[in-house]
Amino acid sequence: MTVCEVCGNDYARGFEVHTDGEVHAFDSLECAAQLLAPTCENCKCRILGHGMEAGGRYFCCAHCARIRGVSELADSA
């Protein structure tokens, strides 16, 4: 059994994520994303796909980056 560190659910099919030298236990991808996925600096959405990073700042897309004054990022088309 795995006890999720986000919601506390004790679940037989839980899983662990090993990242940055740490081990985290979860019962769902939703809880894993809540704890581990970066948040867009502009719109505050969780970045679950190919986000963008500039100078340690995370964005979900180039549009959000431009709103925050980061002009060197471009979306793939």
Average pLDDT of the chain to the nearest whole number = 94
pLDDT digits (tens, 9 = 90+) for 12-44: 999 999 999 999 999 999 999 999 999 999 999
CA angle 53, 50, 44 (to 5 degrees): 65
User: Count of CB atoms within 10 A of residue 56's CB?
Assistant: 5
